[in-house]
Structure 1
């Protein structure tokens, strides 16, 4: 019997992405799935209901009630969880560390919930990696925001009135978002530097035509993330960085660790040492910020005229391509279990087992389990 895959409109303020595009709907249909779509689910990403020729368009209540698999961008609300049939599957970016009550509701409803940010970051998982695909959008958009905000040109210009020197841009963090930011700033003609405490990123930064900023501190960690610095290492790094920031026009900070507060890299004192008119765009503002002055969703002007822009959900600002990549990520994950229209979860597959947040009335992710139980 065909598994019913459902998609509903995202209700979080400012969210314009959709978890299923017409392209991916066609692929799911070809694999034997039945698809129900809430009317208008893709409208904010410019995918009209008529484009979903392979879907049954229904009201939200009907979509949730019929869902055997619910695909979402943002975590489901408590009301949406309550409307799902017991034992349904939810695949989304679930942010379990932010809302213990949501994880508790998923557990109590016996929902099998897959948090895509928990996906092991292995070679095999790359095509399912929502963190990477959406970070690429964020890095790109952050540089465009900075280019608009800085009171200078990005590129060098030779004019009848003389030569205009290029803006000096520093990208902090060389993950997917940081590398995309470096590439975008380079395309716009800026003089670009990249900084990351992981020494293995030096070659990646330089391959994009940027200069690697070496602060004399290495924090190579496991799983592609940096380890936490010692206090002495942090102090040395901060002093060298503070001195360097005095000559920088634009900083884009991208350092983040899923499920944890963003590392604080730029202090208020560092901002105070920067030149008037300089711009900081903090992609990590929602998770605490890489800059001490960052406020999510706001632009803060420091006393010396530095603009600190705390961005919120940048992928939603490019909903067409962000949705296309996200939907493909979910399809590639769902493809592991969807055979001839039937969903069969292979718990021996580490990608399925380690991405699972809740199943059969239990919390499977140990750190989340501890968090929920401590907030009971």
Structure 2
């Protein structure tokens, strides 16, 4: 297999000529996998990009999408996987190509030369598969290798799937627990809330925290990365801190990393102590390209309460619990341990919709405005996802270049002949105060009582209003607008009453009342228009 160093970065154009690029959607051969890489809605998006779509018959049945729905969306339905592989220029899947459990034939054997593939690949764990795809000179992009940068969030299939799996883990735990998660006070007695312990505060862990909290459980969360503490606490959970001789478990890109044996022993001890006081434990700890760390020992399971539940979301990578059995629910020492790896397939409809959207976003990113398949290996996102390019190994990608921030502006050194800065004079403000006193003092001494009272209220309102508005944080500007609308309504009523007072010989009050009515009406109307516009932003 030809290899190419990560230092090379170039733009490669793979135009299809006048023929439209044909995207093939395969049915997953894993009998436990019910997700599909394209939905009827995503097919419509692909067609709008100028592509053609062919779907294997029955590809979306597990997720609730019938062949007729794909045909109605504009896709061609082909009778077999062989037909899709033979016609498609780009094949999209969920799981990596694998051996068919019934026929024994590997999916990669059906691939054509120079074909393209987008799916989860896990190249670090599937080196034999990568070599098999390279033998067909394929171009393969891994959905599990999306860089963790802001611009790539719309392509981040891992985060989308982790969010669903974290939620589903709580549902599975509640089913196995056999009690309500929230506390209650009933005539028959008091029910204590369940104690939930989440290990790993990534996307899946945070989703699990949110789901457990919404069901009324008391939640604690542990993570080797201290930076996630704020996120955990913002969701209403208690963060379990852990420090060990200056060593942390935080790796590159926000992921966890491998740690020393001493660190792991101390970590296992801390986790075991919290497991003993927990009713439900959900583990999500993974290390990219490595076996999942064993965080819950068999001794920790022995110390847990009978009837407790462990849901191990790392079961596919070996599991975080020493007693986890892949794709099984087992019971040891009275503790139920869920090691199923098909939690996403148990929510296949939603998982397929989100995964299909990330696929379309990726294809749209590659096609660009010209609607031509063109891999840009200088782009950080595309370079990070490309595992093979026409059979050449490009994985792992080179480390991203860290661009230094702009230096802080420095004040120029004072020149010997430069004049020293002279502080601003306070005299303009003092003169303004004297003029104000000169105007207000005669009014206070010789003016009418009503005029003095109204003027005093007006000046105090100006001072208070100034401080209130300018000291409000920007996050509260929208509620502040509602308050100002209410105040303007009061001004509107007062101006109308003043205009209709009918004071003889003194039309000044009526004129000022009319001006107040006009200005308050503008403020009220404008405030409602802006509020309506902001509310429309949240409509789907």
Aligned 1:343-354 pairs, distance under 5 A: 343-354=373-384
Aligned-CA RMSD value: 1.6
Contact 2:267 2:295 survives alignment (8 Å): no
Contact 1:18 1:42 survives alignment (8 Å): yes
Contact 1:216 1:237 survives alignment (8 Å): no
Contact 1:251 1:280 survives alignment (8 Å): yes
Match of 1:268 in 2: 298
Q: Equivalents in 2 of 1:63, 1:177: separation in Å?
A: 34
TM-score w.r.t. the length of structure 1 is 0.93
Aligned counterpart in structure 2 of residue 342 of structure 1, from 360, 367, 372: 372
Aligned counterpart in structure 1 of residue 257 of structure 2, from 227, 230, 238: 227
**Higher-Rg member (1/2):** 2
Match of 1:62 in 2: 83
Match of 1:38 in 2: 56
Residue-by-residue CA offset, 1:251-272 (whole Å, 9 max, x unaligned): 0001112321111111011111
Question: Would you say how many aligned residue pairs link Structure 1 and Structure 2?
Answer: 366
Unaligned runs of 5+ in 1: 368-376
Unaligned runs of 5+ in 2: 1-17, 100-105, 398-540
Residue 175 (str. 1) matches residue 202 (str. 2): yes
- 1:77 and 1:234, CA in 2 relative to 1: closer, same or farther beyond 3 A? closer
Report deviation, 1:102.
1.6
TM-score w.r.t. the length of structure 2 is 0.66
Q: Equivalents in 2 of 1:51, 1:225: separation in Å?
A: 39
Aligned 1:97-246 pairs, distance under 5 A: 97-217=124-244, 218-246=248-276
Q: Equivalents in 2 of 1:62, 1:240: separation in Å?
A: 54
Match of 2:95 in 1: 74
Contact 2:90 2:118 survives alignment (8 Å): yes
SS in 2 for 1:223: helix
Residue-by-residue CA offset, 1:180-212 (whole Å, 9 max, x unaligned): 000000111111111111011111111111111
Contact 2:256 2:286 survives alignment (8 Å): no
Q: Equivalents in 2 of 1:3, 1:257: separation in Å?
A: 36
Aligned counterpart in structure 1 of residue 349 of structure 2, from 320, 339, 344: 320
Report deviation, 1:232.
2.5
Higher-helix-fraction structure? 2
Match of 1:372 in 2: none
Residue-by-residue CA offset, 1:208-227 (whole Å, 9 max, x unaligned): 11111123344332211123
Higher-strand-fraction structure? 1
Aligned 1:243-322 pairs, distance under 5 A: 243-303=273-333, 305-322=334-351
Residue-by-residue CA offset, 1:95-124 (whole Å, 9 max, x unaligned): 223333321111010010111112211111
Poorly superposed stretches of 4+, deviation over 6 Å = none
SS in 2 for 1:289: coil
Farther off after superposition, 184-193 or 336-345:
336-345
Contact 1:284 1:311 survives alignment (8 Å): no
Q: Equivalents in 1 of 2:110, 2:261: separation in Å?
A: 48
SS in 2 for 1:335: helix
Match of 1:370 in 2: none
Residue-by-residue CA offset, 1:139-177 (whole Å, 9 max, x unaligned): 011111101111322100111011110110001100000
